[in-house]
Amino acid sequence: MEYVLKASRLTKKYKNSKALDGLTMHVEKGAIYGFVGKNGAGKTTLIRIICGLQRPEGGEYEVYGVKNSDKEIIQARRRMGAVIETPSIYLEMSAEENIREQYRILGLPSFDGISELLELVGLAGTGNKKAKNFSLGMRQRLGIAVALAGSPDFLVLDEPANGLDPQGIIEIRELILRLNREYQITVLISSHILDELSRLATHYGFIENGRIIKEISAKELEAVCRKCMRAEVTSTVVLSRVLERLGMEYTVVSDTQADIYGKVSITDLALELSKEGCEVRSVHERDESLESYYVSLMGGGRDE
């Protein structure tokens, strides 16, 4: 297995709190790695560390097999592009001027490829329009374009859909998918918009209190998030008793609702419940979502 990023037992403190507490993670080459956790869980700290903006106090990480303690890490990071927290753009410049400036910072020998880059992110027609007059979605796409200057093959995005309207979210999603599928760019994307992340990610890392508590592929997650029957009844106490007797696996959702896993005869279940004075109000098929998996994994906590 080839990894673009490997982190082992990373630690970082801010005053009396631990932002990272022995974090270990693995980002496979070619993946879209969804980095999931509450605000303050340590996502941005990890991103800032691997981009060289902060130093860990313990542990180590590798970018393309180069350890952070090696002097070659500077060259390895040149294969990375990043948008951290907010896009790093000059508001008084046009989209093309912003990218030209980034080319100069990187020391690139010519401005070849800028028009293609603007086309890629959907900003080819903006001309001399200053970035301060762009929509939030356009600024985000410009930030990604700046991150793509120098043709990196690892892109790090910190909450790229934050604050965007539905159309802006769709545009960012389609851009990320295109970069991954057509240009083979590995993407690490932190987000608290779980429904949107589920449309993108091939792998997930769930972080809580500075630690990765679970890494799982989208295929593995799909197998875990099984289909089930959501039953609404007059009493889940009775329903639980009947399901236990029938040897069925279930999860109680509320006083009147429960999810039942595996094949179940609705007729037989209704008859058994009726014997104990319990009425079936409705039954429908549903899939467990990334959000419900996350809540279950975090022990009932909510992503904020």
Q: What is the mean pLDDT of residues 284-295?
A: 79
Q: What is the pLDDT of residue 304?
A: 37
User: Per-domain residue ranges for the chain?
Assistant: 3-223, 226-287
pLDDT in the model for residue 293: 84
Q: State pLDDT tens for residues 108-165.
A: 999 999 999 999 999 998 999 999 999 999 999 999 999 999 999 999 999 998 889 9
**Average pLDDT of 286-295?**
78
Give the total residue count for the chain: 304
Q: For residue 296, name the pLDDT band (cuts at 50, 70, 90).
A: confident
Per-residue pLDDT averaged across 220-228, rounded? 79
SS3 per-residue string spanning the chain: CCEEEEEEEEEEEECCEEEEEEEEEEEECCCEEEEECCCCCCHHHHHHHHCCCCCCCEEEEEECCEECCCCCHHHHHCCEEEECCCCCCCCCCEHHHHHHHHHHHHCCCCCCCHHHHHHHCCCCCCCCCEHHHCCHHHHHHHHHHHHHCCCCCEEEEECCCCCCCHHHHHHHHHHHHHHHHHHCCEEEEECCCHHHHCCCCCEEEEEECCEEEEEEEHHHHHHHCCEEEEEEECCHHHHHHHHHHHCCEEEECCCCEEEEECCCCHHHHHHHHHHCCCCEEEEEEEECCHHHHHHHHCCCCCCC
Structural tokens at position 95: 């989209």
- Is residue 180 within 8 Å of residue 32, measured between CB atoms? yes
CA 88/CA 67 separation, integer angstroms: 27
Residue 193 pLDDT: 83
Kindly report the number of other CB atoms within 10 A of residue 120's CB atom.
Answer: 19
State the pLDDT at residue 301: 43
Q: What pLDDT is recorded for position 288?
A: 65
Specify the pLDDT at position 147. 96
Residue 287 has pLDDT above 70, yes or no: no
Kindly tell me if the per-residue pLDDT of 24 is higher than 90: yes
Q: Which pLDDT score, from 0 to 100, does residue 16 have?
A: 84
| Of 293, 218, 217, the residue nearest 26 (C-alpha) | 217
* Domain 3-223 identical in fold to domain 226-287: no
- Assigned CATH class of 3-223: alpha beta
282 backbone dihedrals φ, ψ, rounded to 5°: -160, 155
pLDDT higher than threshold 70 for residue 17 = yes
Average pLDDT over residues 225-245: 90
Q: pLDDT (tens digit, 9 = 90+) per residue, 175-217?
A: 999 999 999 999 999 988 888 899 999 999 999 999 999 999 9
pLDDT tens-digit readout, 72-107 = 999 999 999 999 988 989 999 999 999 999 999 999
Summarised one tens digit per residue, pLDDT across range 32-56 is: 999 999 888 999 999 999 999 999 9
For 237-261, the pLDDT digits (tens) are 999 999 999 899 898 989 999 989 8
pTM of the model: 0.80
Indicate the fold that domain 226-287 takes in CATH.
Answer: Alpha-Beta Plaits (3.30.70)
What is the structure's pLDDT at 86? 87
